[in-house]
């Protein structure tokens, strides 16, 4: 089983001074290396106008790549495809895939609403409908398929255009394209991912993991992909635990979780007081509540998993039981703030007392088994 962790997830600057950038970059490097050496695959997110390294996560990952064990993977949760010219994005993804010998996992998605599409020149309605991300991925697929001798391929959207007469170089490492993990909150996205042979994020923000996993397995089995594609899909399909604390007792874990949550919410409120708004991901929200309001109120921290290594391992076993073999875990506690110790201690306890129990579990591989399980 594979375990990944997000670095400085959803970072918000508590100080906008230029001197803060260097401090936070150093912390992100330190956290990345610590996670990798404990056995986690470090993952990076992409945000713009927020955090000194989030805007160029592939460059940051390339810096980290040579400093971690060779069997670790780098991951992105997620790269915001509408903000890139597709040729440049495919070039960058392929190059990092080559340099890491295929040890990079590219989560792809739309990015946050609000400041990001405005600053990067993507029309709000085009971005918010999801069409910008869909168009970008369609062009990227054409680029990955283009070969010498093919007729020229032209593309145009509200934000980019181009004509291709030669293949994009470098190509991906050993496969048609790098490993893509597609966001899939809705059932139609689950089906699309399985039909295309892409691993997917399942069970996110309240989506039912067991039902989505069954739908994904059934669709994957019916698609008759080559065995190596099925194996990759079942290895890297993932769910995202957004708020985890591990401690010596369940009571202590719950106490520390409350402390970490309080600091996170206080940081968000200070940001709102200064900037007037807070762009965030789509999280679990109340009837009529906006995504921004839900994120500001901690909608991503409603399903806290807090407990001893035995307690947390029980939750991991539940993932194994539904056929999931990859967990992206986010430890509560701000590495740039006062609750870093909570996140760091949780990560170390998870690595020493939870991770080893599952390291030898292999993903299911046979389509017939996947459909029946």
Q: In the chain, what are the domains? A: 2-250+304-372 (3.20.20.30)
Sign of CA dihedral 67, 73, 77, 81: positive
pTM of this prediction exceeds 0.85: yes
Question: Is 260:339 a contact under the CB 8 Å cutoff?
Answer: yes
Question: Is 175:100 a contact under the CB 8 Å cutoff?
Answer: no
pLDDT of residue 367: 52
Calpha distance 46→54 (Å, rounded):
5
Question: Is 69:39 a contact under the CB 8 Å cutoff?
Answer: no
Tens digit of each residue's pLDDT, the chain (373 residues): 999 999 988 788 777 778 888 999 999 999 999 999 999 999 999 988 887 778 899 999 999 999 999 999 999 999 999 999 999 999 999 999 999 999 999 999 898 888 899 999 999 999 999 999 999 999 999 999 999 999 999 999 999 999 999 999 999 999 899 999 998 888 988 999 999 999 999 998 678 999 999 999 999 999 999 999 999 999 999 999 999 999 999 999 999 999 999 999 999 999 898 888 787 777 777 777 887 888 889 989 988 999 999 999 999 999 999 889 999 999 999 999 999 999 999 999 999 999 999 999 887 666 556 555 4
Instruction: Enter the tokens of residue 286.
Output: 């109340």
pLDDT of residue 112: 86
Residues in the chain: 373
CA angle (188 as vertex; 118, 231 as ends), nearest 5: 105
Question: Residue 145: how many CA atoms within 13 Å on its side-chain side?
Answer: 10
Residues 283-311: b if buried by 16+ CB within 10 A, e if exposed? bbbeeeeebbbbbbbbbbbbebbbbbbeb
In this structure, the strands spanning 161-164 and 153-156 are antiparallel
Tell me the CA distances in angstroms from 234 to 146, 168, 244, 340, 367, one per residue in order. 27, 28, 24, 33, 10
pLDDT of residue 34: 98
3-state SS of the chain? CEEEEECCCCCCCCCCCHHHHHHHHHHHHHHHHHHHHHCCEEEECCCCCCCCCCCCHHHHHHHHHCCCCCCCCEEEEEEEHHHCCHHHHHHHHHHHHHHCCCCEEEEEECCCCCHHHHHCCCCHHHHHCCHHHHHHHHHHHHHHHCCCCCCCEEEECCCCEEEECCCCCCCCCCCCCCEEEEECCCHHHHHHHHHHCCCEECCHHHCCHHHHHHHHHHHHHHHCCCHHHHHHHHHHCEEEEEEEEECCCHHHHHHHHHHHHHHHHHHHHHHHHHHCCCCCCCCCCCCCCCHHHHHHCCHHHCCCEEECHHHHHHHHHHHHHCCCCEEEEEECCCCCCCCHHHHHHHHHHHHHHCHHHCCCCCCCCCHHHHHHC
């Amino acid at each position: 089983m594979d375990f990944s962790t997000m670095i400085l997830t959803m970072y918000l600057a508590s100080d906008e001074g230029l001197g803060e950038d260097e401090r936070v970059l150093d912390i992100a490097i330190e956290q990345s290396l610590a996670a990798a050496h404990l056995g986690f695959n470090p993952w990076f997110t992409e945000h713009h106008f927020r955090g000194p390294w989030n805007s160029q996560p592939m460059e940051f990952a390339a810096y980290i790549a040579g400093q971690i064990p060779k069997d670790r993977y780098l991951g992105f949760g997620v790269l915001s495809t509408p903000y890139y010219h597709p040729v440049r994005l495919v070039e960058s993804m392929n190059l990092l895939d080559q340099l890491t010998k295929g040890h990079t996992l590219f989560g792809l998605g739309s990015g946050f609403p609000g400041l990001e599409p405005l600053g990067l020149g993507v029309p709000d309605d085009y971005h918010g409908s999801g069409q910008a991300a869909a168009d970008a991925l369609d062009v990227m697929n054409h680029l990955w398929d283009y070969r010498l001798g093919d007729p020229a391929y032209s593309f145009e959207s509200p934000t980019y255009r181009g004509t291709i007469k030669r293949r994009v170089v470098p190509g991906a490492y050993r496969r048609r394209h790098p490993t893509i993990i597609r966001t899939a909150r809705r059932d139609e996205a689950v089906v699309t991912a399985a039909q295309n042979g892409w691993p997917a994020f399942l069970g996110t923000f309240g989506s039912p993991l067991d039902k989505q996993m069954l739908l994904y397995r059934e669709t994957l089995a019916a698609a008759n992909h080559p065995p190596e594609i099925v194996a990759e899909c079942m290895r890297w399909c993932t769910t995202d635990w957004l708020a985890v604390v591990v401690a010596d007792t369940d009571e202590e874990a719950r106490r520390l979780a409350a402390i970490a949550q309080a600091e996170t919410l206080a940081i968000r409120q200070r940001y709102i007081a200064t900037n007037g708004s807070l762009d965030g991901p789509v999280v679990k929200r109340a009837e009529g509540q906006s995504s921004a309001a839900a994120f500001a109120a901690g909608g991503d921290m409603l399903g806290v998993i807090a407990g001893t290594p035995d307690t947390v391992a029980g939750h991991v076993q539940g993932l194994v039981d539904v056929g999931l073999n990859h967990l992206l875990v986010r430890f509560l506690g701000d590495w740039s703030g006062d609750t870093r110790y909570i996140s760091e201690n949780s990560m170390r306890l998870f690595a020493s007392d939870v991770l080893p129990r599952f390291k030898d579990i292999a993903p299911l591989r046979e389509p017939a088994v996947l459909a029946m399980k």
